[in-house]
Structure 1
Amino acid sequence: MAGGTGTTAVRPEFIAQVPLVSGMSADNLEAAYGGQVLSEARGEGYALMGFSASEVRGGLNAQGTRVVHVERNRDRFQGGGLTATMSATRSVWINGEFDTWANATRSVWINGSFNLVPQNTVTFQQIGLEAAQAKASNLGAGVKVAVVDTGVDIDHPAFAGSLAPQNEWRDFRDNDTNPDEEGVLGTGGYGHGTGVAGIVLQVAPKAIILPLRVLGPDGSGDVLHVAQAIDWAVKCNAQIINLSLGTDTRSNVVQDAINRATAKGVMVISAAGNDNRSSLNYPANDAMAGAAGDYSLSVGSVDAGDLKSSFSNYGKALEIVAPGEDVYTPGPDNLLVAWSGTSMAAPVVTGSLALALGQKWNISARDMIKGLTDNAADIYRNGMNSAYKDKLGKGRLDLTVFSKVQ
């Protein structure tokens, strides 16, 4: 599908977060700092401003002013084909009627097989999804999940009846309200966001997807757009934000947006990255620390035998792992495709939390996250993953924990 036709969004070389005091206008800010005001959050007391390299070198007109953060903006975040891979397996979407499934006219499981996408049966048996969906029979109904990514193929039959109201859709990359995917299948990041959203809906079929496009066809995106999308998701009352994207250096502007979200009880799930590196991408690397810790979670990937995926990042900061290899999911243009990456493991966890939230259990979001990590399956037993001991979180996602809920 082609994306929106709006004016391309402003993409400054640098971005700064500056204090916004009562009575100060955008003109006042630009006179004080130079640069351009890009967004204001008066209730939060800050504004985001864009600057050229020369303006940064000139000191941001810093006489008597205070800049909270200054950082490079363009193409800092990576997603899509740069952090996950699409296999050559692709076929026409045959069974893909999530709307009929979500409306309970179709059984989720038949004789132990995952009915909608049989290719994912083993993957979902690995985490105990069949019993979890039986226990959490609301299937995530009413839970809004923001997918901050390359967009979503909004015309794919998998998403019929499962998208947030159209007035909430946003494409921050193209500065319009059409978050449709752009590109060519198999190239760059095209299809990545569609795949992520489809995985969430397979785990929690009655959840609501809020599609927010921040990554371009090559899978790259700007700090500004990721931060704006997180703030927008909170404004639209999303309960979970999925970030299957990352950067190898911390973005304070994005982390502050995450902190604002988690301070309001919104859960933020981040992919660890696919560089087989002993440190995580950001923001996953900061998920267990600081202000966001109780409401955020970092996710790595394992294979069908619970061994660390060859591509998955690892480290002491990683909190949990989930299946992330050859996960079948909707692809643009009415296809069914298979992806591998921590980008795919993250929405498995996101969907699991949506399942739990949909039950209205008397459990806080913070305790739901703690419950998943504390009850993860042991993936270090008998010397498994010995090279990564205590660097793959507390273990692999295990939804049999749902059976313990009264």
Structure 2
Amino acid sequence: MPHHSWQPLRCTLLTTLTLTLAACSTQTSAPAPQPDAAPYMRTVDITAATTRQDLEAKYGQVLTYAPQAGFAVVSAPAPLSRQDLGTTDPNREPISEAVEPNTNAIRVSSGALWTDADVWHSGGALWTDGSGGFGWTNGNGGFGWTNGGALWTDGKYIPLPQNSFAWVQVGLPQAHALAPKFGQNVKIAVIDTGIDLNHTAFADRLVAPSDMYDFVDNDHTPQEIGTPMVGSFGHGTGVAGIALQAAPNAKIMPLRVIEPDGLGDMDNVVNAVIFAVDHGAQIINLSLGSDQGSRSLQRALEYAASRNVLVFEAAGNRNLEQLDRPAAFAAQQTYAGAAQLSVGSVNSQDGKSWFSNYATTLELSAPGEMIATLAPGERVAVWSGTSMSTPLAAGIAALALGEQGRLNAGSVASRLLSTATNIDAVPANSAFIGKVGRRINAANFVASYMPIP
């Protein structure tokens, strides 16, 4: 998600470090490695009979080849202005209007508060065993990071203590009581900076290697790389960790499209969406965005909708009365829009987070301030941003899918909205009435799918 924001946290229990940064298919194998991405690209319609060779002969470099989705993305020359075309007539559309930027056209940038040790204390305590192990104990012999990515103590799932208030705020404990499968076997694609594949909390909570991919390095190892405290390192790990706190038995499908500097190419995101759909994702999380729309990404999201995949998209963190793309298009009255949800951030009092974008088209909000989640190297970090509220919503959706099996993506999105809580009356939102979305209510949402005892 573009432009995460952060606020300093005063902590008397730990020494902390702060970081500020600039948010039935035919294709089942990994995409063929591509040469360096073209600066610009164009989306073209194709049929099942169109070969990659046909496209290369006509357009040159092929960035996305998706006959199952009815389109391809090819390299394009730099766009031309109307003046370049010899006209200033606003009614004449230059051919370059079909051209869009590709290189570094998508971004995530986030703020985090990292601890300088693998230890927290808040009621219970997170501990290390001296050999890189990491867990949580309630003082009664309980333990954590067992049974895969879930945080368990005395055989019962317990959220990270730092998030207890936020989870109560959205009714997550009640939702967990109603959904004992905890999102079992639901695949959530996290299209991001990759994740720390070796983090103990992800054990048994990842899809098979053949179902994950690194579109930056073109391999099946989407390992998050970088240096702690530098760039956007840790972003994808944190996003995936929040989704798992909401749906502890879900399966994370990590798809790496973002470099350590927080920037990525649009064609990689397009390819990741297609890959996620073709490899069985039921939910896609996009905690990233762009200033401008992308026809190619919209086509990929239309394909996701046609395959009944629900997509959650971060609103952005610039405190603007507009949403980042593709979240800005989630409210469109189309079949593709029906399967997408834009997500903003609220604070602990349901007030709009000071950094969160807002608009009359914003659909959902969720807690996104100072959320504790996983970080590379067996750590936990605290992050703020709509990148954090978005996977919380995605994980809550996974709870219903885990109980009910495959559900219609549009109906799930509609029910998330209809069961959410109207927060317009919150005093802090007086200047944003009708523009902060409805705050997700996990308890109401899950209860709407479960029979009354």
TM-score by length of 2: 0.79
Q: Deviations over 1:227-277 (max 9, x none)?
A: 000000000010000000000110111111011101111000000000000
**Among residues 105, 108, 131, which one is paired with 1:76 in the alignment?**
105
Work out the CA distance in 1 between the residues paired with 2:239 and 2:227: 17
Work out the CA distance in 1 between the residues paired with 2:400 and 2:423: 23
1:36-75 equivalences in 2 (<5 Å): 36-53=61-78, 69-75=98-104
Does residue 347 (structure 1) correspond to residue 391 (structure 2)? The answer is: yes
Does residue 16 (structure 1) correspond to residue 42 (structure 2)? The answer is: yes
How much does 1:32 deviate?
Answer: 2.4
Structure 2: unaligned runs, 5 residues or longer: 1-31, 86-94, 119-133, 137-143
Does residue 233 (structure 1) correspond to residue 276 (structure 2)? The answer is: yes
The answer to which structure has the higher helix fraction is: 1
Q: Which amino acid aligns with 2:106?
A: F
Q: Contact 1:128–1:398 at 8 Å: present in 2 too?
A: yes
Work out the CA distance in 2 between the residues paired with 1:14 and 1:91: 44
Q: Contact 2:151–2:159 at 8 Å: present in 1 too?
A: no
How much does 1:100 deviate?
Answer: 5.0
How much does 1:300 deviate?
Answer: 0.2
1:98-113 equivalences in 2 (<5 Å): 99-100=147-148, 102=150, 106-108=154-156
How much does 1:103 deviate?
Answer: 9.9
Question: Which residue number corresponds to residue 378 of structure 1?
Answer: 422
Work out the CA distance in 1 between the residues paired with 2:369 and 2:79: 45
Q: Contact 2:40–2:99 at 8 Å: present in 1 too?
A: yes
Work out the CA distance in 2 between the residues paired with 1:9 and 1:121: 46
Work out the CA distance in 2 between the residues paired with 1:230 and 1:102: 26
Q: Deviations over 1:136-163 (max 9, x none)?
A: 1100001000000000100000100000
Does residue 324 (structure 1) correspond to residue 368 (structure 2)? The answer is: yes
Work out the CA distance in 1 between the residues paired with 2:182 and 2:337: 26
1:380-395 equivalences in 2 (<5 Å): 380-381=424-425, 383-393=427-437, 395=438
Alignment RMSD (CA, Å): 2.6
Work out the CA distance in 1 between the residues paired with 2:43 and 2:337: 22
**CA separation of 1:302 and 1:54: change in aligned 2, threshold 3 A:** closer
**CA separation of 1:315 and 1:144: change in aligned 2, threshold 3 A:** same
SS at match of 1:385: helix
Question: Which residue number corresponds to residue 223 of structure 1?
Answer: 266
Question: Which residue number corresponds to residue 275 of structure 1?
Answer: 318
How much does 1:22 deviate?
Answer: 5.3
How much does 1:363 deviate?
Answer: 5.5
Question: Which residue number corresponds to residue 258 of structure 1?
Answer: 301
**CA separation of 1:396 and 1:103: change in aligned 2, threshold 3 A:** closer
SS at match of 1:74: coil
Work out the CA distance in 2 between the residues paired with 1:98 and 1:8: 39
Q: Contact 1:101–1:107 at 8 Å: present in 2 too?
A: no
Question: Which residue number corresponds to residue 94 of structure 1?
Answer: 135
Identity, in percent, stands at 39
How much does 1:31 deviate?
Answer: 2.8
How much does 1:54 deviate?
Answer: 9.0
Q: Contact 1:38–1:48 at 8 Å: present in 2 too?
A: yes
Question: Which residue number corresponds to residue 254 of structure 2?
Answer: 211
- Structure 1, 274-283 or 182-191: larger mean CA deviation: 182-191
Question: Which residue number corresponds to residue 128 of structure 2?
Answer: none
How much does 1:168 deviate?
Answer: 1.4
Work out the CA distance in 1 between the residues paired with 2:50 and 2:149: 51
Q: Contact 1:8–1:173 at 8 Å: present in 2 too?
A: no
SS at match of 2:403: coil
Work out the CA distance in 1 between the residues paired with 2:419 and 2:146: 29
Work out the CA distance in 2 between the residues paired with 1:375 and 1:301: 17
**Among residues 283, 294, 299, which one is paired with 2:338 in the alignment?**
294
SS at match of 2:135: coil
Q: Deviations over 1:17-36 (max 9, x none)?
A: 22224544333323323x21
Q: Contact 1:90–1:336 at 8 Å: present in 2 too?
A: no
Work out the CA distance in 2 between the residues paired with 1:102 and 1:270: 24
SS at match of 1:358: helix
Q: Deviations over 1:327-368 (max 9, x none)?
A: 111100111111000000000000000011000169533222
Work out the CA distance in 2 between the residues paired with 1:262 and 1:22: 19
Work out the CA distance in 1 between the residues paired with 2:155 and 2:166: 18
Q: Which amino acid aligns with 1:27?
A: Q
Task: Provide the aligned length of Structure 1 versus Structure 2.
Answer: 385
SS at match of 1:233: helix
Q: Deviations over 1:97-149 (max 9, x none)?
A: 1535759775445xxxxx34111111111111111001011000010000000
Work out the CA distance in 2 between the residues paired with 1:71 and 1:89: 41
Question: Which residue number corresponds to residue 195 of structure 1?
Answer: 238
Q: Deviations over 1:11-61 (max 9, x none)?
A: 11111122224544333323323x2123322233322212353999999xx
Work out the CA distance in 2 between the residues paired with 1:106 and 1:51: 58
Question: Which residue number corresponds to residue 246 of structure 1?
Answer: 289
Question: Which residue number corresponds to residue 123 of structure 1?
Answer: 166
TM-score by length of 1: 0.88
**CA separation of 1:228 and 1:98: change in aligned 2, threshold 3 A:** farther
